[in-house]
Amino acid sequence: MPFMKGKAPIRRTLRYLEAGGLILKERVKVFCVNYNVFGDHHKGARDFVFWHLPQIQYKNPSVQVVTLTNMTPSPYITCFFDTGERMLIDIDSKTKEEVHAHLKKVICKSEYVTHLTPHTIINFP
| Residue 23: partners with Cβ closer than 8 Å, 6 or more residues away | 59, 60, 108, 109, 114
Kindly tell me the burial class for residue 92, based on how many C-beta atoms sit within 10 Å of its own C-beta (0-12, 13-18, 19 or more). Answer: middle
Q: Which residue has the higher pLDDT, 8 or 68?
A: 68
pLDDT of residue 3: 56
pTM of the model: 0.84
Q: Among 7-11, 66-70, 110-114, which range has the highest average pLDDT?
A: 66-70
pLDDT per position as a tens digit, 33-91 = 999 999 999 999 999 999 999 999 999 999 999 999 999 999 999 999 999 999 999 99
Name the CATH superfamily, with its identifier, for domain 22-106. Glutaredoxin (3.40.30.10)
Average pLDDT, the chain: 89
Domain ranges (residues) in the chain: 22-106
pLDDT of residue 1: 45
